[in-house]
Each structure stands twice: as C-alpha cells, then as structure tokens.
Structure 1
Amino acid sequence: MTGQTLRPFLTRAATLYPDRAVVARTGAGETRDTYAGYADRVRRLASALRAAGIGRGDRVATLCWNHGRHFEAYFAVPALGAQLHTINPLLPADDVRRIVAEAADRLLLVDPSLTDALRAAYDPDAFESVERVVVVGSTEPDLPLPTTGFSEFVAAHDADGDLPALDGDDPAGLCYSSGTTGDPKGVEYTQRMLWSHTMAIMTPMGLDIADSDVVMPVVPMFHINAWGLPYAATAAGAKQVYPGPSPDPADLVGLIEREGVTLTAGVPTVWLGVLDYLEDHDADLSTLSRVVVGGAAPPERLIRAFDDRGVEVVHGWGMTETAPVGAVSHLKPELRDADYETRLEKRKKQGLILPGLEFEVVDDDGDSVPHDGESMGELRVRGPWVAEGYVDGNGDAFDGSWLRTGDVVTVDPDGYVELVDRAADVIKSGGEWISSQAVENAIMSHGAVSEAAVVGVPHERWGERPVAYVVADAARDDLIAAVSAEVRREFPDWWVPDRFEFVESIPKTATGKFAKTALRARHEDPLAGPVAAEPPDSA
C-alpha cells in the first residue's frame, strides 16, 4: 500500500483507541460500539463485498440515514478501492433513477424506512447495473431486485480476509451535488483527495478535531460524506455519535447531554430549532464547545444566542466539488482581542481558505479583484481535494486545474472570504448588484421570521427587482415595516424588496437549500411601477 489512503485512519483508531465509543441512535433505540469492534465489522463487510464481486473502481450505493451500519460502509467500500456512492434519499425519484444509471452502481445498501423511495425510483433499465440490494435491518421487504438482509450478507465472512493494496489515486467515493442550479452532478473522490481533506479539517485552521472530542454529525451522511466528519473523527480517535433518522431538537439535545458531545455540525435551520427547544426546556450543554454551520450563512441571532450559552458557532464554506470544506471562519490572533461586534462581523463570513488550497477572485473579464471587502468576483479554487471534472464529463465548471465555484464573493483586507451570492442568484437592478443572501439574513435577523428567501424578478424598468418570501408569526403589515427597516439599516434603500410574500413554507432542494428556481418560476409577468428607492441607473 502506497500513497495517502483512508485505511490507516481506522487501523490507528482501532489500535490506539480500541475502547473509544461509537454510538448511534436508531428507530429501535441506541447502539453502542468501540473502535475495535467497529474495525472488525468493517473488515467483515469488506470481505462480504469482495465475495459479492465488488472490487477496484466498482460503485456501491447507499440509501441510508446517519447510523453505525452506514458508517461501516464509509471505510469498508473504499478499503476495496471501490467507490462509496451516497445517494440522497430526498432527491426526486427521477434524479435517483438518473444518478443510479449514470453511476452504474453494482450493489445498494438501503434502510428499511427508505425502501419506498427505492421502489418509487426503480426502473429496470436505470437499475440494470444493480446486482443486489442489501437491506440494513432485520426485515427483507419485497423489492424488484435480488434482496438480502445485512446480517445474512455478512454472516459467512470473517475479519481476517486479505484486502487489496491501495494507492492514493485509487477510487474512494462518489457524491452528487445538490442540484440547486440544475441537475445534480457526480463528483468522484480518490483516496488521496479524502485523505488530504481529512488532514486539513483536523487542524486548528480547519475544524480542530482531537482525540478528546465527542463528534456528532447532524449533517446527513448522504450529503458530501457528512462534511468529512466521520473520516476526521476516526483519524483523530474521537468518540462518535450518530443521531439516526430525522432527529428532532429533543433528540439532539438529549444526545449532547448523555454522550458529552463537544463538536456537532449541521445547517442553520437545525440549530435554530434547537434554540427554540431550549427556550422551553432545561438542558445541560456544558460539554458542547462548538457548532459547525454550513450550507447557508448563520443568522446573527444564532451566533449571539450560542455565544450567550458559551458555545462557539464555527462558520464554514464548501461544495461537493471541494470534498467539501474549503474555508472556515476562525479569528486571526490580531482579531481575538477586538470588540465583540468586530469579531462577530468576521465570524459571519465564510472565512479563511484552508491551508493546502489556492484561491483567486476574478471579475467577468477574468481579472483579479482587489481584497477590499467590497469588490465582487467569482471565487475559484484548486488544490489536492478539489475535483477537476464530473462523472458525465461536463467541464463547464472547470478552467484547467481551477474550479469555477459559481459563488460571487468579496475578500476583505484580512483575507476573509464573504459569500455575496450564487452567481445565478445575484439580483442585477438598474445595473447594480443586490445580494439576495445578504437581504435574506437581514430579514431573518427579526425574531418573528423563521425563514426568508429573496429572488430577483424581472422588472420593466430596472431589469430585476427583489421579491421576498417569508415564513413568520407576526402581523404582516407591521412585520414588513420592521424587516424593511432592518434591510435599510445595513444596505441602501433600493435593496429593500418590492414585494413580500408570506408563505407557510419555502420550497427547498433535497439538501435543504432554498429552491429559488421554483420561486422565480412563480412570476410569469414582470413587475412594474415605482420602487421604494430607485437604484442607480448605470446599466
């Protein structure tokens, strides 16, 4: 075995931390394991997969929640030089059908609770490559494919089977993007890519994971390898806690209390729900030191509320194509003694690009923009854990070794990257840019607003104008005035949305992001008439 591979991470954990716990919540309760026991099961699963014909370059797909059996596949499949293809079960059936066909998956691990999703997606042509379904449970439901229970699948295999020699260039994983701006795209990861990403996020400039930590990934394991936490926690020898299917705030708080969780991670809506729960319930979160937030910028009130509880909110940025973490917002030494508001403004940003990656920010002509905190451009990155293409061969997002992220950002003089918007979501009004995400965050700073999505809608004079979709519990007229004032407090008057639409819920993609394409599609006719304040007409 040569090069950087995943296998030594588990070997080290089982050798140096054999009794360290791996805990998982399931529908039937909680399971408890140790790294020694876990490593044994990983090797048994790898032996079973090898006996089933799985080898280097083959793809094994999963339709699973966050639990111990899914975690076993994280190391067992790459141990064979095969690719672990984690499928998002919340994707539309058409998308699941398409990506199974494109990936040519040979074997599928599925939770019993997700067999209906599998049936809905099944098509004999799309699933032609799938030779067997292994159900991760005690039942074997009737499925339109050869089916085996997990226990039966591994029963005849032991942990002493030989594993193939691997190299850093051997395959390890496959994830599909969220499909926010189009069809999900497949991104392949080599052993070296995931090894490099693991080493980077373990560092203090990354997520600072140590053997003393208790790590609970709330971000789904089907979403970009749970942000790499299962690999990094194993490499560090940290205790791991998996919250299982559809954990509610009470489940998460209970696990934090019982298991002594120190580090957890998920999208902002998860932690807003936890804060709402804590308003009415007593809980001991004294072990929790940091909450990692990604996928969307954390509302300021979220950071402040956790600060009041002595818990640090760590904001990160990444993409499927960056495996995924590319930047983390830690305070530089010279900023740690700054006043609270200054520190807060830095922490709200996507942060500092991780060591090992290169980045540039360029305008429409490909010229670098100054790092003045105001000039906008597209973020480009490259490095050892950044993809250089998609499974389907589409290279539109790539310029040589550079990944064109599609994220419009600014970089301040201290080097902190701030995501202004996705290129597809920036609103161009009167020739000037409006950041939909910045307006959303200003609206959501109001305590009565639980969610807000802002989209650009065609306007007869100004090209585009912002329209806000809001989920809130307050009188509408009063709330419009209040949130408009919040926007004006931070931005020019002409950034205030022309229209506020109050809805019970905002449509989301399968990874929980606002489905802005669907919102824009609601506006067939362009807006007309005056706006609250006219933008500069520089178009």
Structure 2
Amino acid sequence: MPGGHTQTLRPFLWRASKLYPDTEVVSRNHDGMSRQTYAEYEERTAQLANALDEHGIEQGDRVGTFCWNTDRHFEVYFAAPSMGAQLHTINPLLPDEHIRYIVDDANDEVIFVDPSLAEKIAGAAEGAEEFEGVDLIVMDDSPVEAIDGPVYEEFVAGHDTDYDWPELPSEQPAGMCYTSGTTGKPKGVEYTQSMLWSHTMMSQSPQGIPMEDDDVVMPVVPMFHVNAWGMPFTATAGGAKQVFPGPSPDADDLARLIEEEGVTITAGVPTVWLGLMEYCEDNEVDLSTLDQVIVGGSAAPESMIRWFDDRGVEVLHAWGMTEMSPIGSVAHLKSDLEDEDYQTQLDKRSKQGIMVPGLEFKVIDEDGNRIAWDGEEFGELYVRGPSVTKEYFKRPEANEEDFEDGWLKTGDVVSVDPDGYIKIVDRAKDVIKSGGEWISSVELENAIMAHEDVSEATVIGVPHEKWQERPVAFVVPTEGADREGLDDEILELLDEEYPKWWLPDAVEYIEEVPKTATGKFSKKDLREQYTGSVELHEGSAPEEAAPESDD
C-alpha cells in the first residue's frame, strides 16, 4: 500500500479512491458547479504531481496557494504533500505587506491563484523583490489580465494520470500556515506528514469531529486557514462526499448548497451561522439533511445553539490553534451528562469542550501553579501532543516566548470544570483588569449576544485613571431593532448575572465589529479606533471591586 509503515497523508486518498471511487467532490466555482468522483480526483492529483515535477518542484519545496474553497485547491491538498513538497496556504485577506513577507519567508517556488484573487496578488507582487522567481498559476482554464503566466488546466493537461508516489518519512514537512499576525509579523507553522496524519486520526475519533462515508461535508471555514480545520483530510479519510462552497459564499449560496447537495456536516466561524440564521428567518430553507454545524474561531452564543437545536441540528463547539493543526478540544457531551437537564447540557456545549484523544493539557496560574478543576480558578492553557508544533519557522525569539519544556503556551486564559470541560475566559491579551480584579470580555460578549436585538457584540478594556481598565461594549443591533433604550436593557441583562463592577461603562453602537483576516473579532482594531473616544462614567466600578494593584 502507498505510504508504507510511515504516518503520511497518501493512504487517506488511496483508501477513498479505492473504496469510494464514485463518491463525489463538488465545487461551486466562479463559472458554475463542477463535479468529479474520488477516482477522477486521484487521477487529477497525479496529473498535478507530474506537472509540478516537470516544473522543477522537488521534495521540500513549498507550493503556495492563494485560493478559496474549490475543487482545484483541494487537488493541491494531496498532490503537493504526497510528492514530498509542502502545501503552503496563504490568506488572501491579509495586507499586501504581510503577503509579501510570508511569500519571502516561506520561499515559495510557485503559487496557485484563484482567478478572483488575481488582482489582489498582482498588486502585492508588483515591484516586490519578495516575489522574484515565484511563478503564479491561475486556477482556471483561461488566462486573466492581471497575471502573465500559465493557467491551471493548461498546466496539468496531457500529464499522466498515474504517479510514482515516493515513500516519505513521517517527519517530512507537508504543510505550512502562518498565524494571522495581529501583533507583529505573522509566524510560520510547519506541519509534518505525521502531524497531519495524527490530526486526521484525532478528528476521526468519536470525540473528535468524525466524518463517515454517508456524510456530505461542506467546510465554510477557509481552506487557507489551517487547512479548513483539517476537514478536507478528515472527509477524505472517511470517504465522505465533499462540497466546496467557492469564492465568498453568502447565506443564499450556503442555504442552496445545503439543500441541493444534502450537506450533513458543515463548519465555520459564528458570524457565518449568524448570517445563515438571519437568512433562514426571511426565507424558506430546508435544513433537514444537516446533522452538525461545527463552530470555532470564537465562542458560539448559547442563543445560536438553541436556534439550531430547535431545527434538529447539533452545534458542535470546537477550539484549536494554527499551532495545533488546529483542533484541540470539542464540546461533546460525556455519557454521564446525557440525562442532565437541557440547561446543564447547554452550559457544557457552550464551553470549548474536552480535549481530543491524543493531546494533553495543563493550566498554569500567575504564580506558576496548576489550577484546580473547579470551574472557578483560571490560568493560561498549555498543550502538547503529536499534532502540536514544537517551534515556529525561523523565529527563535518567538519560540523562547511561546514554548516551555515541550509545551505550547496558548495565550488563552481558561478555567476547567470538574468534568474536564475547558472554558476560555479570555485571550491573555484581552482579559480586562479593573481595580486589581479580572473581568472576562468573552463572558460579557456571549451574554450580550443572547439579547434578541443584538447581532454582534464585543467588549474591550479601555484605560481608566482610577480603575486601570474598564470594559466598554460595542454592539451591532439587528436590522430594524429599536436602539432607544437597548443599552439599558443590555446592562440590566448583565446585572442579573454579573457583579456590578463587571458591567460595561458604556455601550456603543457600531455598524460592524471589525474582523481579522480569519473572521474573528478584531479587538486590536477597536482599541485603536475607540480608545480615548468613549466617555467613561466615573464610579462605574463600585467600591466592591478589589483594591487597585500594581501588577
């Protein structure tokens, strides 16, 4: 069998093409829908590998992609790593400066470019020495004006549909992804064959995000973001039908694909599903085939879980990081919780969940001690395991800061309840310290988004002369919501659950919460835009708050 005894990606495709040769790979492309079977897909990956060979790509070279979720992008997913090259997915939503840095840092030999992104990469490459010697290939069957280079269909045409796949060592670099670089330059994370193999097997375990041969899997999470959470590999390993939603799908596109293709599992950040929920309220949408919506990137509001529950769809909350390939924990209900009341179960499902098989974690407080699993204490989450990187690419200073004795220091502040469920309290850099006490911005955000007139909400800490920092809420009201008095309703809602000194000093209405390149709320942008422009109410933090501290 190809791949021998080593842990590599190749056997996953070998299995799918041999056991499920007629199962479809479907893609919404800019020029319409395309369909192929796993048998045809395997031949296409062989043609692409032969074409890359002829182009001079050797083992260890990096093959970049600048693409949306499409079938052609998926062909690179198996062709490049299985020939011994390295799949390097580049986030097209990054600033040009970051794109140039990433291409230069990774030393990409060739980059496959979606036609709709040709102008974007051409703009980044213009006059840039970082792009010298990098060949750009348009993922299409006809040229585009912005790029003077070969097109994909010409590139692969005429090549043999068989390929002599090499025996690769488990530690052969297979993939690469850069962190979004919200502070400083993006950091490269290399994935070995073994890391991606391990991640796929973890995902396929019952307490991961398993995908079977009767599933229809649609990753909305971008393929340029940590390999679409590994879903294309996991779905292939399970022999599932795959549906790729293509360039910039909106709620109408997603609803249509779910209905027409019979999607059973899909995944994306909460903003995607909030958009679909709003669309479903105004349109007749048949979600009857849908079994699971995987939510990650940021917390799933309890209201979202309830909405999908009411329609017979399970929201499965997951957490992970680029450095972890990326899945770390999934909020499955443990068997002894299946008879608990609905609210207790919701509380568990709203958390980041239990660590997937194969990984270990510990939580360290400010004094360097492990915290108790009581759901109250919190500290920084450390993880390790076969899918977790042990270092950044060419960044020794970051390695020293973010790794310790084989553990990855995640930067997430968490608590762990007695059942082992991890709950992210905040990012270490986002937790708000007021009067010497911590306030969780994430908890406040989730509580605010439970209000029916709130579409999005985020909370940041702004400097305060007396209290060090105070929370301020930024709220996007739903369309047609009455803003008059909404801020008071929000504060009353929070007052029922949290101490008064947790309550935001101000509620600001905005049209949209700024997003990072991966769709997460960008608190950094909000701080830059609003710090100092919000009039804080003196004395909002009552004297019950702890005394000011110096740390």
TM bucket, shorter chain: over 0.9
> Equivalent residue of 2:476, what SS?
strand
2:405 maps to 1:428: no
> Equivalent residue of 1:467, what SS?
strand
Deviations 1:116-148 (A, max 9, x none): 110221143111241x1111113323456x610
Amino acid at match of 2:25: V
Q: Write the distance in 1 (CA, Å) between the matches of 2:142 and 2:37.
A: 25
Deviations 1:399-431 (A, max 9, x none): 121000000000000000000000000000001
Which residue, 522, 534, 539 being the options, matches 1:530? 539
* Deviation of 1:157 (Å): 1.1
Match of 2:157 in 1: 155
Deviations 1:58-100 (A, max 9, x none): 1011111111000000000101211111111011111101101
Match of 1:64 in 2: 67
- Show structure 2 runs of 5+ residues with no match: none
With normalisation by structure 1, the TM-score equals: 0.97
Amino acid at match of 2:511: E
Q: Write the distance in 2 (CA, Å) between the matches of 1:445 and 1:477.
A: 18
Match of 2:492 in 1: 485
Which residue, 24, 39, 44 being the options, matches 1:36? 39
Matched-pair contact (CA < 8 Å) for 2:25–2:36: yes
* Deviation of 1:27 (Å): 1.6
Match of 1:213 in 2: 215
Say if 1:498 and 1:463 are closer, same or farther in 2 by CA, change over 3 A.
same
Identity of aligned residues (%): 57
Q: Write the distance in 2 (CA, Å) between the matches of 1:343 and 1:244.
A: 35
Q: Write the distance in 1 (CA, Å) between the matches of 2:6 and 2:367.
A: 39
Match of 1:454 in 2: 459
Amino acid at match of 1:316: A
Match of 2:118 in 1: 115
> Equivalent residue of 1:245, what SS?
coil
Q: Write the distance in 2 (CA, Å) between the matches of 1:437 and 1:303.
A: 17
Match of 2:483 in 1: 476
Deviations 1:368-409 (A, max 9, x none): 010000101000000000011111323121112100000000
> Equivalent residue of 2:229, what SS?
helix
Amino acid at match of 1:503: I
The 5-angstrom pairing of residues 315-334 of structure 1 reads 315-334=317-336
Q: Write the distance in 2 (CA, Å) between the matches of 1:536 and 1:465.
A: 13
Q: Write the distance in 1 (CA, Å) between the matches of 2:494 and 2:85.
A: 50
> Equivalent residue of 1:77, what SS?
helix
Q: Write the distance in 1 (CA, Å) between the matches of 2:537 and 2:361.
A: 41
Q: Write the distance in 2 (CA, Å) between the matches of 1:18 and 1:373.
A: 48
Q: Write the distance in 2 (CA, Å) between the matches of 1:160 and 1:327.
A: 38
Match of 2:527 in 1: 520
> Equivalent residue of 2:361, what SS?
strand
Deviations 1:505-526 (A, max 9, x none): 1211111112211211232489
2:129 maps to 1:125: yes
Matched-pair contact (CA < 8 Å) for 1:181–1:424: no
Match of 1:415 in 2: 420
2:388 maps to 1:383: no
Q: Write the distance in 2 (CA, Å) between the matches of 1:161 and 1:300.
A: 49
- Show structure 1 runs of 5+ residues with no match: none
Which residue, 274, 277, 290 being the options, matches 1:275? 277
* Deviation of 1:466 (Å): 0.5
Matched-pair contact (CA < 8 Å) for 2:506–2:537: no
Matched-pair contact (CA < 8 Å) for 1:175–1:186: yes
Which residue, 324, 345, 348 being the options, matches 1:346? 348
- Equivalent residue pairs, number: 537
* Deviation of 1:48 (Å): 0.5
Match of 1:166 in 2: 168
Match of 2:469 in 1: 464
> Equivalent residue of 1:147, what SS?
coil
Q: Write the distance in 1 (CA, Å) between the matches of 2:445 and 2:495.
A: 13
